[in-house]
Structure 1
Amino acid sequence: MGQQPVPTSLTSAVTREIDSALAGVDAELARRYPGDPGTRQPVHTVYVPADAFAADTVTDWGRRALAALDAHAPDAPALAAVLGLPDRLATAVHDRVRAKLRREPVEDLRIDFEDGYGRRPDAEEDAAAARAARLVAETTAQGTAAPWVGIRMKCMEAAVRDRGVRTLDIFLTGLMEAGGLPEGLRLTLPKVTYPEQITAMVRLCEEFEKARALPAGRIGFEIQIETTQSILGPDGRATVARMIDAAQGRATGLHYGTFDYSASCGVSAAHQSPDHPVADHAKAVMQVAAAGTGVRLSDGSTNVLPVGPTEQVHQAWRLHHRLVRRSLARAYYQGWDMHPAQLPTRYAAVYAFYREGLEEAAARLTAYVRRAGGQVLDEPATAKALSGHLLRGLDCGALDADEVTGSTGLDRPALDHLAGRGPTVN
């Protein structure tokens, strides 16, 4: 017996009229809010002054990070005691941290031509930019470069604008002359205050692409948020949202600048920290502005470095570990590291965060897929977040594919689908 028609009152013409009326909105939503790109995001960015950058910077940071670990927390119980890691996580986290420092100690490297480099004679900065391009090309070809690498240029303010543009041109031209732009190229534009400065950066990218016959849109850039004007404009609107729009799809990230932003708010030096209330406000505005756009977020840094006697190192480690954990809980999955001895606590915090969430995320995701209910009734948005947690854990090396599949019954394509990253899984 066939299914009986369900009575309705509206004609199909009404639906077509609504579709037509909302076609522009549909297109605008798709353009402005494409969602997460579904690719791996680095857990940190390491800043190195341009004159200190060398071919062995990545491996040198790994060696120095391991030396700090050996000196101040040589085994799993010692590291767990310093950071307060649960016993059940201590060995796995410690072992993964050591392996990471040997294999890939730096995920994202930024060669700094701004505050970390300062004002130099033009000939000196020209040479440093050309040298940076040569070393990036050489290490990329050798497989010893960080997966993501690039420069932070000087900003678009009048006093240093020409210098910043010239350094960018020299660096990109040097890469092209050496064989092309690396896949993991990252460029950072600092001290942005007006959307028009983003428009100018877009123009530079467009002109370089034309000059070098590159595909349109090949060059993207990060926007560094470190001025009050980048959060709230003189008209009372959230400037950062306008900056993302002005980037015309080229913005890859928003990076919070702890110390410049804090200083611009009048925070005294002793209280400038990523967990200060002015930092939380700025980052909350950044987070809402970037949501759904595919533009990723990065927290800033702490200037309390783990150097000196063991107790001093331990104090700095505990602070850094707490700040990284705090950022992760607030959905800031990336941050800045300024010293090799910060790498052990960066990876310890990241690995513990994803490993301690594995069991609950797996159980809730399995229940969702099976529609089994349980103590928490999850919705599709929550399933998306749960699968995203597991995917980030896989991407950074905190979790292994076998243990995730074993605990959820889901392989990578299935997780990608639930997170809205891949094709439908049958």
Structure 2
Amino acid sequence: MTGPSTTSPQEGQMSKPTALHDVHAEAGAHFTDFAGWRMPLRYRSELAEHHAVRTTAGLFDLSHMGEIEVTGTQAASFLDYAVVGDVGALAVTKARYTMICRPDGGILDDLIVYRLEDNRYMVVANAANSQVVLDALREREDGFDAVVHDSRDDWALIAIQGPVATAVLRSLTDVDLDALMYYAVAEGRVGGRPARLARTGYTGEDGFEIFCAPDDAVAIWTALCAAGGSLGVIPAGLACRDSLRLEAAMPLYGNELSEQLTPFEAGLGRVVRFDKAGDFVGRQALEAKAKVRVDHVRVGLRPGGRRTPRAGSPVLDPTSGDRVGWVTSGAPSPTLGHPIAMAYVGTSLAQPGTGLIVDVRGTAVEATVVDLPFYSRPR
């Protein structure tokens, strides 16, 4: 996911409200304009929302995400050519995290691909990149019996994330949640309304993402609030979603991922499946990248003290003072009680325990390389 921005849309442009906008406004949401959408940034306290997701559950409106469906007798082989993962090997009702790359291996976006039927897939792209992904898929479909459908306006998306998510949702759906494994999807009803229910998320907690018709979004959101209220479930905005994903070391497009980086620098080379049959866009460049030691890799940093590195902060060698990397995301960790950051640093400095310096607005802050993720939920 790409992170929220507090900048205003360009003059003459209006951000698009989601189907839940009025519900958010009534709940006291503070809004931000993001990727052409008017989205809830927080309600009353992003700290309270963060802790709710870690201890009970939070409700998120994710209707800005981009849904693209691919159908046809060669949908599987087309997607295997278009993205770096082996999505053709997916069983029906399963999902896979993958990436779509440029011919030179640069990352256009990270995606989740769901196999709905033998010849029908749903691709979910980040909000800011959904048009880029749609255009890239359409450019790559020539020669395949496959059709790329722009389904972005067909869906609203609600997520419930946290330890009590299953208990809350169980009372509202006919889907067998015990049988719905992580990275799987099922069709059913939620709150009496048709929905596509996926066990996926971007918070580091167990939870579900509910795809529904925009006209049904208010009814489903209201039902979830009513069922979860006594358990401490509250609405949550994009601000706490960012701190949650950072603790879980989930990459953010525009920060940890970009067209200038390949999956190998990001520490996500596992998503590139050279063992799948046939060619795919970026294969040659990525095969060459896989054979050499990359210059920089993504790491976790534990700063000393209370100063928090932010995206763009230079990372320095403590001995020479030379710049050896840059921070991509940083924030105080509500769960851990101290600042955390992700950064790209020279490969020789990426071992856990390595001491570095981060320039935080002109102040030299000592930081130690640590294993990722910073937080893992209890199993």
Same fold (TM over 0.5): no
Higher strand content, 1 or 2: 2
Higher helix content, 1 or 2: 1
Larger Rg, first or second structure (1 or 2): 1
Quickly name the TM-score band, shorter chain normalised.
under 0.3
